[in-house]
Amino acid sequence: MQKGKLTGLRATEKQYVGFATLPNQVHRKSVKKGFDFTLMVAGESGMGKSTLVNSLFLTDLYKDRKLLNAEERINQTVEIIKHTVDIEEKGVKLKLTIVDTPGFGDAVNNNECWKPITDYIDQQFEQYFRDESGLNRKNIQDNRVHCCLYFIPPFGHGLRPVDVEFMKALHEKVNIIPLIAKADCLTPNEIKKLKDRIREEIDKFGIKVYQFPECDSDEDEEFKQLDKELKECTPFAVIGSNTVVEARGQRVRGRLYPWGIVEGKFTNKFLCSVENQSHCDFVKLRNMLIRSHMHDLKDVTCDVHYENYRAQCIQEMTSKLAQDNRMESPIPILPLSTPDVDTEKLIKMKDEELKRMQEMLNKMQQQMHDKEQ
Amino acid sequence: VTIFYFPQNGGSTLLGYIGIDTIIEQMRKKTMKTGFDFNIMVVGHSGLGKSTLVNTLFKSHVSRKSAGWARDEKIPKTVEIKAVSHVIEEGGVKMKLTVVDTPGFGDQINNDNCWEPISKYINEQYEKFLKEEVNITRKKRIPDTRVHCCIYFISPTGHFLRQLDTEFMKRLSHSVNIIPVIAKADTMTLEERQEFKQRVRKELEVSGIEFYPQKEFDEDMEDKSDNDKIREAMPFAVVGSDKEYQVNGKRVLGRKTAWGIVEVENPNHCEFAQLRDFLIRSHLQDLKEVTHNIHYETYRAKRLNENGGLHPISSSDTQESNL
């Protein structure tokens, strides 16, 4: 029996009311319903995006993919391709959607190659906004993009112009997590230099990448230490692999290279292991993305990115309505005595807000009416 | 050294642990941090032990008992709505509990329409929430003052429901979750109690009153089977008390009469424990969800269909402006 703290006056032995079970009640319903998560991957071809996704979710989403050669790619524009897979683990169901963006950055002229991507993200927001404003809200499908992994090539000296422009076009629409792709071609020193450089440039260009929430003050030291290490490690330098190597009963996911075989004996030295934290940051990325921050990524998408979109949308709608001169007279709020300048201003503001709300509702009603027809 | 290209059987075979189930823990941490709101309304004429019951349920003085009408306190002429909030904590979970009392209900000579102030209050909370929801800049967590549960106290006459009981429940069961209870159950013997319950349940059925948990909202077979059991046992016959006595070496909450001590939490004496387990330990979250997903949505749909959009709820008396 748990003891509870009460604001009541009397404290007897068994003060257990039972609402401490509330989190379990919530959890039970969520397990029944299942969760969903939409992850976008962006970056040029050949950065290892598909392999990384397969490695993260231990599945093969790209079985029947055909890789295009350079000629075939000449007239290709950026496409948006969705793959959905249902994953279940320990009774918890996850509907995972991966949004792929083939063609990004592959053309000769990549001006605004992110536009199809921003359009896609906005479309999902718009659909959600319509559904949310509608009459039947029982089964709203949430297709909003919760997180975008952006792959930066390891060959350069930091962010390229296309990287900067892409991230700036998206940082207020989606949680961006920049990654250094194919990190196995860099030495630890090179990785460190590249990370520092990229972090500097992210600051310099004012790019708002996804921030890990602050640790609670009452978390234990070990957790705080892990959290600190995580934050200092960004951007994560990752590798992925579709191959599993087995030897002596041990199974390791990794990439086999000819260098490093020591005296013909099997050692991990010749194997670049995806899950070895000294080889790359894959484990950190996976733990953060799935095991500790998945829920927060969804929350930030709903509370920040979506709300921004919605507020913008409403303002655009009301200014359009004002232009069309379809304003209705607002409900007057009569002051009881002669108002002073401040009160008048306040009344005017509130008047306008009420007007706006009314117009928006009218618009919503109109949309619903149209939908029904 | 052998090399496998995975997945080996085609399709998605999992090799290893991804960690998706941890999202439950992530959610849990978050909800523990933000805490919960719960709003409970009690309705019934005075003297039925409403405040005592709520205090007993939450083991805390969250409701002020009216010790009868004091000399200068008059019975209110109309039904008043009094909402009092407390924050209680248990096992790291913080709950802001609001108890909405309705003194004056059923106490007049002429009780016509005495449910109207209650209905108005319930709708006002829905309106408040709706206004927040359609606002341009919305709060992250809209404060929830909507009534999640209305406990209706049936007088233990032993005969039938009173007309006021059916009138009230008929009118309000479609806008709020109603849980009828038989108050002061210690005035009846166990047989009398059973008979009374049967009669009451029959009357509720005949009047078409859907009390919580409503049959139409059972989501799946598991829900239906759990809820059927509860519905069969309702309305719970309860006794409330905030006094303690020593019984068989234990301290228990009870009522001491000349012929014995009625133990509130003893399932052989009354059904308080069942009510508490149902209300708090298993269906607390569901009460909130039905309120949000069904009653509130019904209200919202009605409002959106009315001509013109938002008008502040006004009656002839006060103009409520929630701006």
| A304 interface with B at CB cutoff 8 Å | no
What averages of pLDDT result for each successive group of 10 residues across chain A (373 residues)?
33 64 82 89 87 82 66 70 87 89 81 89 93 84 93 88 92 94 84 92 93 76 80 86 67 66 42 69 86 90 93 85 56 34 61 70 72 61
| B23 interface with A at CB cutoff 8 Å | yes
Higher pLDDT, residue A25 or B98: B98
List the single range of A260-264, B124-128, B180-184 with lowest mean pLDDT: A260-264
Domains of chain A: 25-105+113-239+280-321 (3.40.50.300)
Is B313 within the bounds of a domain?
no
| β-bridge mates for residue B46, sequence order | none
Q: Where is mean pLDDT largest: A14-23, B185-194, B308-317?
A: B185-194
pLDDT recorded at residue B247: 85
Residue A351, burial from CB neighbour count under 10 angstroms (0-12, 13-18, 19+):
middle
- From the list B95, B280, B304, the residue facing A135 with the nearest CB is B304
Q: What confidence tens digit (pLDDT) does each residue in B163-173 have?
A: 999 999 999 99
Phi and psi, residue A116, nearest 5°: -60, -30
pLDDT recorded at residue A66: 65
| A191 interface with B at CB cutoff 8 Å | no
Cβ neighbors of B173 (< 8 A, separation 6 or more) are: B209, B210, B211
pLDDT recorded at residue A176: 95
- Mean of the per-residue pLDDT values of chain B: 83
With beta carbons less than 8 A apart as the criterion, state whether B137 and A313 touch.
no
Chain B residues within an 8 Å CB radius of A365: 304-305, 309
pLDDT recorded at residue B124: 95
> What band does B317 get if pLDDT is binned at 50, 70 and 90?
very low
- From the list B16, B86, B87, the residue facing A58 with the nearest CB is B16
Residue B311: pLDDT above 90? no
Nearest CA distance, B158 vs chain A (angstrom):
30
Is B76 within the bounds of a domain?
yes
Is B7 within the bounds of a domain?
no
Residue B11: pLDDT above 70? no
| B21 interface with A at CB cutoff 8 Å | yes
Q: Is A289 helix (H, G, I), strand (E, B) or coil?
A: helix
Q: How many CA atoms lie within 13 A of A311 on its CB side?
A: 14
Q: Cβ A26–B87 below 8 Å, yes or no?
A: no
Q: Cβ A4–B282 below 8 Å, yes or no?
A: no
Amino acid letter for position B29 = K
| A69 interface with B at CB cutoff 8 Å | no
Nearest CA distance, B310 vs chain A (angstrom):
6
| B273 interface with A at CB cutoff 8 Å | no
Q: What confidence tens digit (pLDDT) does each residue in B138-172 have?
A: 888 889 999 999 999 999 888 888 899 999 999 99
Is B21 within the bounds of a domain?
no
Q: Cβ A22–B284 below 8 Å, yes or no?
A: yes
Is B286 within the bounds of a domain?
yes
Q: How many CA atoms lie within 13 A of B178 on its CB side?
A: 25
| A67 interface with B at CB cutoff 8 Å | no
> What band does B5 get if pLDDT is binned at 50, 70 and 90?
low
DSSP string across B256-291: EETTEEEETT-TTT-SHHHHHIIIIIISHHHHHHHI
Instruction: Give the pLDDT mean for B271-291.
Output: 92
Q: Cβ B33–A216 below 8 Å, yes or no?
A: yes
pLDDT recorded at residue B4: 52
Domain that holds residue B142: 26-240+267-303
Phi and psi, residue A3, nearest 5°: -90, 140
pLDDT recorded at residue A347: 61
| A243 interface with B at CB cutoff 8 Å | yes
Chain A residues within an 8 Å CB radius of B3: 243-246, 256
How many domains, in total, are found in chain B?
Answer: 1
Residue B39: pLDDT above 50? yes
Is B6 within the bounds of a domain?
no
Cα dihedral B162, B168, B174, B175 sign: negative
* B62 to chain A: closest CA residue: A8
Is B123 within the bounds of a domain?
yes
Q: What confidence tens digit (pLDDT) does each residue in B252-266 have?
A: 888 888 888 889 888
Q: Cβ B90–A94 below 8 Å, yes or no?
A: no
What single-letter DSSP state applies at residue A148? E
* pTM (predicted TM-score): 0.77
- From the list B4, B13, B23, the residue facing A295 with the nearest CB is B23
- From the list A30, A58, A63, the residue facing B18 with the nearest CB is A58
- From the list B24, B281, B297, the residue facing A30 with the nearest CB is B24
What whole-number distance in Å separates Cα of residue A242 and Cα of residue A61?
A: 11
Chain A residues within an 8 Å CB radius of B1: 245-247, 266
pLDDT recorded at residue A281: 86
Chain B residues within an 8 Å CB radius of A91: 21
Q: Residue A177 has which token pair? A: 């997590």
pLDDT recorded at residue A28: 81
Higher pLDDT, residue B67 or B215: B215
What is the side-by-side order of every strand in the sheet holding B149-154?
B82-90, B93-101, B36-43, B149-154, B178-182, B236-237
- From the list B61, B251, B277, the residue facing A12 with the nearest CB is B251
> What band does B312 get if pLDDT is binned at 50, 70 and 90?
very low
Is B259 within the bounds of a domain?
no
- From the list B1, B7, B91, the residue facing A2 with the nearest CB is B91
Q: What confidence tens digit (pLDDT) does each residue in B42-72 have?
A: 999 888 888 889 888 888 777 776 555 454 5
What whole-number distance in Å separates Cα of residue A11 and Cα of residue A16?
A: 10
Q: Residue B166 sits in a domain of what CATH number?
A: 3.40.50.300
